[in-house]
Each structure stands twice: as C-alpha cells, then as structure tokens.
Chain A
C-alpha cells in the first residue's frame, strides 16, 4: 500500500483538531473522574507483545485475567471459576464464567481463551515477555464453550501466577484479528473500563464499562467501577508531576521521587503509599567469568566490605528497604534467612583481598597485584538511572575506595550497553526486574540465561552452576508451593554464599495521592489499580 500523500492530510487534520479544541485554565476534574499522572508510557499498548511495565499499567483497567493472585500468593478465580492440572502437569483445564462479554459485544468463551494464548505464542506477535513466560506452550483445545485445555511440552509451574498479570490479559478475539498495527494503540477487553481515547505522549482516557459484573475474587467491590472516568496523564518530569499533585491538577502521581517524599507526607492534603515490588531487587551483578570478580574472594570482599544497608537507609530515608537476597521480600519463595547470612566485616574483606594477592598499594591508596590496580569496570547507564541510582553508585564507590578497590562508574548509552553486555565485557552491571514468581531466579542465575549476541539473558553474573540449574528446573516441575519455596531458598543461599550477586535495595512503587482519593488497589506486580477507586468531594 502506498502511503504517499498521507502526511499532508494527517498534519492538517492534527492542526485542525488542536486549533478547534476550546481551552480554559487548569480546571478541576469532576468528582467521579480520577486523574493519575504517570512517569512513563508504552511504545505499543498490546501487553501480549510489549515487555514494558507501563503497557501492563495502561491496559490493566481494560483487561481481565483468567485468574487473580491473592496477597498471600494464592491463585483465586476471575474469568475462570475453576481449574485442574493433569497428573503429568502438562495440561491445564479451565472452567470459564458464562456471563462475560467483551466491550465490543464479543462473547468471552473457550475459543477466546485459545485465541489469546495462541496470539501470545504466535511469532508474528513478536512478544518480548509474555511468550517467554509460557515458553513450553504447545496449544489449546476448546472442549466446549465453558471448558478449555491448555497444553505444555513440559511442566511449567509459573504459568498460573503469570496468567494473573496484565501481560496475559484477555482481549477480544475480534480485536486481536485487527493485527499489531491496531493493537499498538487500541486494546479491547472485558475489564471495568474501556479506552475512550489514547493520545501518545499526552494521555489515555478511559470510561466506565457499565455492564461489568465479573471482577476478580480478590476484590471487595462488585459490579461496575465507581469512577465514571479515569485519565492517565503522561508527565515524565519529576518536578512537574509533583507540582500537578500539590496543585490539585492530578489526584495521584506515580513514582514520587525519594527526595521529595517527606515534603508530600508533610502536606495535610496528601499521602504517600508504597508497595514493595516482587521479583528481582535492585542489585549489582559481578561478572564471575572474567576479570577481578572471577575470584570468589574478591566478590565476597565486595559483598561484606561495603555497608549497603546503611547507604540505602541514608539515601532513601527508609522509603526502600535494604535487600539481602536477589529476590524481593514480596515475592513468594523469598528466603528470609538470607538476612542473617550477611554481616558487614571490613577487616575480613581486607583479609580476603590480601589472600587473593591484592596486597600492594599504589600512590592513590588503591590495592595492586603485580603492579596492576584493582579496578572494577562498570558500564553504568546514567541517562536512564532512576531513583537516585547514580548517587547510590557514588556512595558505593566511596566505600569501595576504603577497601582499596577502584570502582569505575561508566556512562554508557543503551546502544553502547547491549553489545558489551552480550559479550561479557564488564566487571559489574546493575539489574532490577519485576516478576511475581520465584522463577525470577532462573532468569538471573540459570546457565541458559547467560547473554550471547543472539539471545539476551538476565544472568548478568554469567553464573553457571549445575546444582543451581537442577534446583531451578525441579522448581518448574512441581506445583507444591512448599517444595518450590525450599528449592528457591537453596538457590538464594547458594548464590549468596558464592557472592554471585550484591543485593542493594527492594524497589517499591511510591504513589503520591490526594486524601480525597479512596480505594486504590494494588496488582500483584505492585502497580495501582482503579477498579475500586473513588474520589470524595474536593
């Protein structure tokens, strides 16, 4: 198809639209409308394709899931009323609600579930996340309108928890058929809200779905949403978002910068809500395959010789908790015992470095071995560093200096970063990743997740241990939560004993919200949800 000549009419149309819109100052929204200022927007909306947290946030109001996840990590009904797993753990049978309709009028049934899962697995969708969460998926069969069977090539225990995420939200099959170009900017589901309009770089506006009466079992509210309208404004600048909240132009804002949390808390009209994010904590990963950190003693010195908890408490004023495990405290299978396994011991760290042969000192006071300085090269992506991670890095750098380690914090762009990362050309990288299952550990430490130029993997430590690989595989094959927790606990202890990760802090979603807003809920991934929200008189 030729797109010649499309540009001019498009420009004229855009001009006409913006010019014709009437303006009037910074108005207050009506009482049944909630304005939420967010700090990020997705490149494409379709959460089946996009890996971005913002895609999940933007589509959650519109999409329901087959199951929901309770606060205790239990799987609860939503669009599926019941499910069973075959003895070989390779087939899931779901029984579905019968009264559910997508907002375009399409009926939700077994064929719709199949269409959604097939859409995620279809290579043409180019899924950057969801397809990976169900990689052994082989297909679905429609038994009858209410019953669908989902098949896997091998057992895949994280599937049910993943299903509760917006990345697996059920979309109207009619909408899915319209293809990626349409799904990139419009998504149709059965959720409590319907997308009214989406203006990239500006805002997304939802209106209430009046027919909604199939909320998740985890919600206290039933029936249609309380809000008639919901609007997300995209304000990437921290100070602007904060100003919008304090001036009442926004009812809630995402990611209150840690430095300003005190100011928001001091404001009598506002409050701050935080929720620790599940998955991988913000951590530093040493390259265990080459360079100075190939020596376990140097890694251990870097782990026990630096007072991460104190740095974190001072920098974030208690907003974020120090981390002691690569898994966040809110992840099922987090091992609390990891907390007891770390103790600051600078003297021991010094001894370890001596043992490793770094006994010399150069003029600047850094340790040397055979005349070469103990340098840790860290390709840091300063331009995308959030939450004062650059300041954090400098505080760690100062403590490393006390140990005689020259921590060199680079400043690389994303484009420069990936080739270096894929080639393992670094001593240290930082990482954080949201996920609601302990299977996160497989992404972080399984041999198959070491990056190559052809495949990105989150195993930044490039850590490879046959026992750890075995535990991680075993945890996929069982649905016994206690057994999985035990396997993941073993992994956490092992990688910490090996100093294959330096956990720094537990990231949290920091929501700034007006006291007139009530009932904001939290998704399992620690994102705010608005189904039960309402606004009292301003």
Chain B
C-alpha cells in the first residue's frame, strides 16, 4: 500500500496521475448531471404516470401494466438507485414512450446531430479564421463594417436565420431541399444557420486577439527578418490569438446544443433535439437521462480534446509544470 502511494506521488507518474484525476472528475460531472436531471424531472409537477397516460382513457388493467413494467410504483430513492446502478453498467434502459432501448433511440439520432454539429463547427472555424485574418489591423472602414456584421450575426436568432435561408435558397431558388437529412445538400442550410452566430462571435474574438498579437515586439522582429505580412499573421500572430479562441470553443459547444434543437425542428432533420423535447414533455425519464449523460460525456470529451490542443498550440505548456 505504501509503495503504491509512493509510486502515485512520484514525479514519474505525473502524467498518468493527471489523467486519472481528470477521469475521476469527469465521472463526478456525469453523476452530477444525471442527479440534477433526475431531481428536475421529479420536482416539476405531475407524476410520470400522469404524463405517460396523458389526456387519454386507459383501462385500469393497462394502467397497472404500465406502472409495473417501468417500476413507477417504487419509492423515488429506489428508482434513483436503480437508475444510477444501470447507468454505471452502461445500460441506459428502455424508453417509457417509445418502446425502444434508450441506447438505440439515442444512437439513431446522435449521428445526424453530430454530423450537423461538426459541419457547423468546421464552417464557423474556417469562416472566422479567414475573416479575422483578412480584417485584423486593417483600416477603420473594414473593421467597422465587419464588426457591424458580426454584431448582427450574433444578435439574430437562429430560428430567423433558418427561415430566411429556407425561404430564399430553398423555396425561391430551389437550390437546396427544405427538409430531410439525405446527402450533403440537405446539410448545407442547417449548418449555415447554426454557424452564423458562432462565426460572428469567433471572428470578433480572433480579430481582437490577433490585433493584440500584431502589436507584440516579436512581430516587429519577424517583419524585420523580411517575412511577408501574410506569413507574419499565419505563422506568428495566429498562434497567440488561438488560445482565447480555444477557450471560447469549449463554451460554444454548449450553445451549439441549444441551436441544434431549434434547427433540427425547422429542417425536419432527425436528431437529438426533438427526441429530447418530447421526452422532457412526456417525462420519459430514461431518454432524458440518457441524453443528459451522452451530452455531458461529449462536453467532457470536447474539453479534454481542447486541453490537448492547448499543448499543441502553446509550446510553453509542454515543459515541466
């Protein structure tokens, strides 16, 4: 035991220790998310049973069957314990409303959501990098114009962007299908709608930090070495500017999930959005829990990836700490 502790605290185990601590806290985050969601669903008025039956007349026998099938007659602490136990074993249970294992329900909807989120994120990053590199440190007119556009981009609701895109590019021009998830063309409009506010926000931040970096003495040195303006921006200034953008990107993931719900609904795309909405409304506990767990896990994963990216972008972090 003692030797184990010595190994644990020895400098050689710095990295595995960090990884283990990180995993431990991630598990705590997941457990916390599940517990809060469970409490929230039970604190809102109305029983699960009432929500499941809804405004319908059900025979007493069928009602009894429903209650026993899902163990709704058990005390809440028992239901909670059962739930956490199941989740710890990786079993997400069976949806009350859909007659489907939660893993299957989430699995079939997660793909399209991830695809949309990934496309929107890639679009936002590419667009904001280009815009920021082009406009940072330029004349007042260019900057004023672009920050004006960005302000609009951040402020207009995703819902509205989606409807305008649809009306012009689908209903009037017929370039893109209005609905569905078949193929790349069906992905374009929803991805753009989600990406607009993200791009606006990222561009603003990137440009500000690029401008700060461009004022640094090392930029002057680089220029003195005869580097072109573009090379200075790309090779030297951008690296510095990326750090705050990475921090923001982690936060943006949360905002992204909200935007997905709206956009999936409008474009009739399969995805987690509508699945979760109907689950919350119908108090479909297993689906809500599963969705919370998956989203929280993704959030944790994204942040771990971002931490690694910090190391790539900023060599200073790679040395001894």
Residues of A within 8 A of B (CB): 2-7, 9-15, 17-19, 21-27, 37, 43-44, 51, 123-129, 131-132, 135, 180-181, 183-185, 199-203, 233-237, 239-240, 243-244, 246-247, 249, 413-420, 422, 443, 449, 453-458
| A518–B140 alpha-carbon span in the complex (Å) | 61
- B57/A240 in contact, CB under 8 A: no
Q: Mark B90-108, 1 if CB is under 8 A from A, else 0.
A: 1110000111110110111
Q: Which single member of B92, B114, B175 contacts A15 (CB below 8 Å)? A: B114
Please give, as numbers and ranges, the residues of chain A lying within 8 Å of B163 by CB-CB distance. 237, 239-240
Please give, as numbers and ranges, the residues of chain B lying within 8 Å of A127 by CB-CB distance. 58-59, 62
Determine the residue in chain B with the shortest Cβ distance to A244: B178
Knowing A4-B89, A235-B268, A240-B266, the reply to whether A456 touches B57 (Cβ < 8 A) is yes
Please give, as numbers and ranges, the residues of chain B lying within 8 Å of A202 by CB-CB distance. 179-181, 268-270
Knowing A2-B91, A43-B97, the reply to whether A455 touches B104 (Cβ < 8 A) is no
- A5/B90 in contact, CB under 8 A: yes
Q: Mark B259-284, 1 if CB is under 8 A from A, else 0.
A: 00000111111110011001001110
Knowing A4-B90, A15-B115, the reply to whether A26 touches B170 (Cβ < 8 A) is yes
Chain B min CB distance to A479 (Å):
23
Counting from the closest, the 8 A-B pairs by CB-CB distance are A23-B183, A10-B107, A14-B111, A184-B99, A123-B61, A23-B185, A243-B171, A247-B171
User: Does B244 sit at the interface, judged by CB under 8 A?
Assistant: no
Determine the residue in chain A with the shortest Cβ distance to B45: A416
User: Does B15 sit at the interface, judged by CB under 8 A?
Assistant: no
| A136–B229 alpha-carbon span in the complex (Å) | 85
User: Does B257 sit at the interface, judged by CB under 8 A?
Assistant: no
| A422–B90 alpha-carbon span in the complex (Å) | 37
Chain B min CB distance to A50 (Å):
9
Determine the residue in chain A with the shortest Cβ distance to B57: A132
- B183/A24 in contact, CB under 8 A: yes
Segment at the interface with A among B6-14, B47-55, B147-155: B47-55
User: Does B75 sit at the interface, judged by CB under 8 A?
Assistant: no
Please give, as numbers and ranges, the residues of chain B lying within 8 Å of A185 by CB-CB distance. 100
User: Does B109 sit at the interface, judged by CB under 8 A?
Assistant: yes
Please name 12 further chain A to chain B contacts, defined as beta carbons within 8 Å, in addition to the given A127-B59, A419-B47, sorted by A numbering.
A11-B111, A14-B107, A15-B111, A25-B185, A26-B174, A27-B177, A125-B62, A203-B180, A240-B266, A414-B51, A415-B51, A422-B50
- A25/B174 in contact, CB under 8 A: yes
Q: List 10 A-B contacts (CB under 8 A).
A: A7-B294, A11-B111, A14-B107, A44-B99, A202-B179, A203-B268, A234-B268, A417-B46, A418-B54, A419-B47
- B101/A200 in contact, CB under 8 A: no
- B103/A6 in contact, CB under 8 A: yes
| A419–B91 alpha-carbon span in the complex (Å) | 31
Please give, as numbers and ranges, the residues of chain B lying within 8 Å of A199 by CB-CB distance. 181, 270
Please give, as numbers and ranges, the residues of chain A lying within 8 Å of B56 by CB-CB distance. 51, 128-129, 132, 456
Q: Which single member of B101, B174, B179 contacts A6 (CB below 8 Å)? A: B101
Chain A min CB distance to B43 (Å):
10
Please give, as numbers and ranges, the residues of chain A lying within 8 Å of B98 by CB-CB distance. 43-44, 184
| A291–B255 alpha-carbon span in the complex (Å) | 45
- B65/A415 in contact, CB under 8 A: no
What interface size band does chain B fall in?
A: 35 or more
Please give, as numbers and ranges, the residues of chain A lying within 8 Å of B266 by CB-CB distance. 237, 240
Please give, as numbers and ranges, the residues of chain A lying within 8 Å of B271 by CB-CB distance. 201
User: Does B3 sit at the interface, judged by CB under 8 A?
Assistant: no
User: Does B117 sit at the interface, judged by CB under 8 A?
Assistant: no
Please give, as numbers and ranges, the residues of chain B lying within 8 Å of A247 by CB-CB distance. 170-172, 174, 178
Determine the residue in chain B with the shortest Cβ distance to A383: B281
| A249–B103 alpha-carbon span in the complex (Å) | 33
| A246–B175 alpha-carbon span in the complex (Å) | 15
| A236–B265 alpha-carbon span in the complex (Å) | 7
Q: Mark B154-172, 1 if CB is under 8 A from A, else 0.
A: 0000000001001100111
User: Does B186 sit at the interface, judged by CB under 8 A?
Assistant: yes
Determine the residue in chain B with the shortest Cβ distance to A15: B111
Q: Which single member of B92, B176, B270 contacts A200 (CB below 8 Å)? A: B270
| A235–B163 alpha-carbon span in the complex (Å) | 13
| A27–B264 alpha-carbon span in the complex (Å) | 21
Determine the residue in chain A with the shortest Cβ distance to B51: A415
Chain A min CB distance to B53 (Å):
6
- B281/A415 in contact, CB under 8 A: yes
- B171/A201 in contact, CB under 8 A: no
- A6/B62 in contact, CB under 8 A: no
For chain B, residues 275 to 305, give those with C-beta under 8 angstroms from any C-beta of chain A: 275, 278, 281-283, 294
User: Does B213 sit at the interface, judged by CB under 8 A?
Assistant: no
Please give, as numbers and ranges, the residues of chain B lying within 8 Å of A234 by CB-CB distance. 179, 268
- B50/A416 in contact, CB under 8 A: no
- A201/B45 in contact, CB under 8 A: no
Please give, as numbers and ranges, the residues of chain A lying within 8 Å of B281 by CB-CB distance. 413-415
Q: Which single member of B51, B61, B103 contacts A418 (CB below 8 Å)? A: B51
- B111/A18 in contact, CB under 8 A: yes
Knowing A126-B66, A201-B264, A233-B179, the reply to whether A14 touches B283 (Cβ < 8 A) is no
Q: Which single member of A3, A13, A417, A443 contacts B101 (CB below 8 Å)? A: A3
User: Does B64 sit at the interface, judged by CB under 8 A?
Assistant: yes
Knowing A10-B103, A10-B104, A128-B53, the reply to whether A413 touches B44 (Cβ < 8 A) is yes
Chain A min CB distance to B219 (Å):
42
Please give, as numbers and ranges, the residues of chain B lying within 8 Å of A51 by CB-CB distance. 54, 56
User: Does B193 sit at the interface, judged by CB under 8 A?
Assistant: no
Knowing A11-B110, A246-B171, A414-B281, the reply to whether A458 touches B62 (Cβ < 8 A) is no
